[in-house]
Amino acid sequence: MLCEGVTWLDDWFAIEEVAPGVIAIGEPRFHQINWNYLILGARRALMFDTGPGVRDISKVVRKLTTLPVTALPSHMHFDHTGGLAGFGNIALPDLPVLRACMRDGWLMPTDDLYVGYWEGMTWTPVKPAQWLAIGSEIDLGGRKLEVLHTPGHSPDSVSLHDRANGLLFAADFVYPGKLYAQIANSDLKSYLDTAEALLPQLPDNTVILSAHGKPDARRLHRAPRLSRQDVADLGDSLRRLKASGGRPAQWPVNDRMSLLLSEDAFKSWQAGG
């Protein structure tokens, strides 16, 4: 089930060192094929996304590092925050949409941000320990990660840019397969704005690590990797879609990606955005 270089940690979690100091923790048996990223510095570590919570990913992290770990979700969807409560130090991007979800110090995302009702998942309240400003840097010791706001799939979506090592942790902004723009709060104007803002920041050799994978032609799994060209293709395809005036249910991006669409996702364009 796994490509060369990817190993089972147990019967659920697979791990792959995708770059020096970066361990991808995959869940290929989960139907959304989540990949979460443990990013190691000299002084501390960051867990970017925590999966759907079918199994406790914090136990995996404790096996992989003795460094103090901060957990940061890329966005609130259940398949990225399911294991969040297993971490003692939780950071959130400082966005108004997330600040509005706070209740007496506890994070309580709305149903259309969490979308756990899709699969009968129940939110476990957590207390964030810190808020990270958009554009700020997370210093792990010898490794710095810039927090980027990358809405489109969801208004609270963020990515992490490791400029020194040529890595972009893009979460659900781009990944191989069908990009979800057909769900509540997805927005095509935001997708296009993000692609156009992101592209000039990415050198040609940037490796994009995404949050959802797909098996290869041999039905084998590894952490998903895309490139700067995929962001360029997304921008180009969205401009063509806007110019067409059409409202398709699906739209091709390239041979690796397509967009799933709904009427709601077009609203900002219909309003002249």
Question: pLDDT tens digits, residue range 71-118?
Answer: 999 999 999 999 999 999 999 999 999 999 999 999 999 999 999 999
Pair of tokens at residue 6: 């990817």
User: What does pLDDT average to over the chain?
Assistant: 96
- Whether residue 272 is predicted with pLDDT greater than 80 in this model: the reply is no
Residue pair 6/15 in contact by the 8 Å Cβ criterion: yes
pLDDT of residue 267: 87
Instruction: Work out whether strand 144-149 and strand 158-162 pair parallel, antiparallel, or are unpaired.
Output: antiparallel
Between CA 196 and CA 223 the distance in angstroms is 25
Question: Taking the domains of the chain in order of start, what are their residue ranges?
Answer: 7-177+200-227
Confidence of residue 202 (pLDDT cuts 50, 70, 90): very high
Confidence of residue 184 (pLDDT cuts 50, 70, 90): confident
Candidates 172, 174, 143; CA nearest to 79 is 172
Between CA 41 and CA 45 the distance in angstroms is 6
Question: pLDDT tens digits, residue range 225-261?
Answer: 999 999 999 999 999 999 999 999 999 999 999 999 9
Between CA 89 and CA 8 the distance in angstroms is 27
Q: Report DSSP state, residue 162.
A: E
pLDDT of residue 271: 64
CATH label, 7-177+200-227, candidates 3.10.180.10, 3.30.43.10, 3.40.50.300, 3.60.15.10: 3.60.15.10
Q: How far is CA 116 from CA 25, 33, 55, 81, in A?
A: 21, 16, 16, 10
Q: pTM, whole model, 2 decimals?
A: 0.97
Confidence of residue 269 (pLDDT cuts 50, 70, 90): confident
